[in-house]
Structure 1
């Protein structure tokens, strides 16, 4: 008789996970042998699980990750030079708490964006704020936003994220305005949050891509010195995954 008003009260208090657990445990015969402390402990686990799931879903929506990737699904068998021990370490997300960076380089098709998104998804699961953007789109948005209130809002949104993923940088050189915009983003985040940058261009050529030596020095000094690096190599995964072409028909 108490189940219905109890469930209503739990939902009124916003304890939806606890209400779900209460309803499920009530119909499990094995739960009847639990003492009050064990029953309460199980109900609290239901509540905590639901809250963590909602936090993750909120973080994931805000992150706008390009790929639905997960660190548990990484393929370490593919010959592309991915260090399993390093990536597992990165998957723990301690480096984000330490405000370090990650630079992922390699040719097209080696999974740079996918790996970055997998780490971004794991950070969301750890209840860290994440924001993903492709570098060409970033510079296009900033160019439009210059001169109005949106420019400041964009910079603040990049600064607030615990992990900012800047995907697909290069190979084109930056314009002076783009180099200054990038410095603003890096400066706002320096020693406050972490970056993942992916690029087809090796790190030792980034100085040339930025173009202006003083800006390049300032940007790279803040990005590279405390960064982990993943340098991928080998044949494109997309090429290896492509179905074989059918043999041409023989003419009769």
Structure 2
């Protein structure tokens, strides 16, 4: 307790403005005047710990660059008719699959909420201290092509392989070229049993082999991605159309 208090004192000296705010706010709160010194100091330490964790969470969210930043686990729509298995999805929200270095495939037609659900899982992971990176597949391949040309490839590749959860959104339907197959193979190989990969696609998993194109690459890539993966297979009509009909603009698409 004493060492922690000394650390807080050092922080206060380095950041006098920020350090004063908690004191002032706590002094203005009802009931704090009756607290003992130890109780008051304990509350201040708890506040500091909460503040630091919040900042770390916000930093992880910025690094993740999610498409739907506001996608929250608490807001998941389990009532819409899209075949979402509530028990399975809530199991995914525990993050155990990430700790076990397993993958997750979310498939289904356009507009049923694949990307939104992926981002909700990502936010949950960020809350748990997991590093996350979101990439749309078409833009990722464009980024990798440019990185090969300007010398940034090692840095971009490291970011893709070292993050604990990599989200690859919108797999297919365009067939991969030779360079894209090689890059994807290297990413998947380096992440195998090291990190978790979440892929969303309008195509059923059975069609992914044709998207990769070359059978040898396809077998190797899919073996590393699919064999230990959980699957969430959605169906039904586009939720965008459904929400428009009901006048609800908060669609999970």
- TM-score range normalised by the length of the shorter chain: 0.7 to 0.9
Change (3 A) 1:242 1:128: same
Separation in 1, partners of 2:16, 2:38? 18
* TM-score of the aligned structures, taking structure 2 as reference length: 0.87
Q: Which runs of 5+ in 1 are unaligned?
A: 1-6, 246-252
Counterpart secondary structure, 2:173: coil
Q: Give the superposition deviation at 1:40.
A: 2.4
Counterpart secondary structure, 1:242: helix
Counterpart secondary structure, 2:152: helix
Q: Give the superposition deviation at 1:188.
A: 1.3
Counterpart secondary structure, 1:59: helix
Separation in 1, partners of 2:17, 2:86? 39
Q: Give the superposition deviation at 1:33.
A: 2.5
Q: Give the superposition deviation at 1:10.
A: 4.8
Match of 1:163 in 2: 165
Counterpart secondary structure, 1:102: strand
Q: Write out per-residue CA displacement over residues 185-241 of structure 1, whole angstroms, 9 at most, x where no aligned residue.
A: 111111111111000000111112111111111111111111111000001101111
Match of 2:228 in 1: 226
Counterpart secondary structure, 2:88: helix
Separation in 1, partners of 2:199, 2:240? 21
Task: Figure out how many residues of one structure are paired with residues of the other and give that number.
Answer: 239
Match of 2:117 in 1: 115
* TM-score of the aligned structures, taking structure 1 as reference length: 0.88
Asked if 2 retains the 8 angstrom alpha-carbon contact of 1:172 and 1:209, the reply is yes
Change (3 A) 1:222 1:18: farther
Separation in 1, partners of 2:90, 2:17? 34
Q: Write out per-residue CA displacement over residues 156-192 of structure 1, whole angstroms, 9 at most, x where no aligned residue.
A: 1101211110000111211122111111111111111
Asked if 2 retains the 8 angstrom alpha-carbon contact of 1:167 and 1:199, the reply is yes
Q: Give the superposition deviation at 1:8.
A: 8.6
Counterpart secondary structure, 2:31: helix
Change (3 A) 1:22 1:160: same
1:79 maps to 2:81: yes
Asked if 2 retains the 8 angstrom alpha-carbon contact of 1:18 and 1:47, the reply is no
Change (3 A) 1:234 1:15: farther
Q: Larger radius of gyration, structure 1 or 2? A: 1
Q: Which runs of 5+ in 2 are unaligned?
A: 1-7, 248-253
Asked if 2 retains the 8 angstrom alpha-carbon contact of 1:10 and 1:19, the reply is no
Asked if 2 retains the 8 angstrom alpha-carbon contact of 1:15 and 1:47, the reply is no
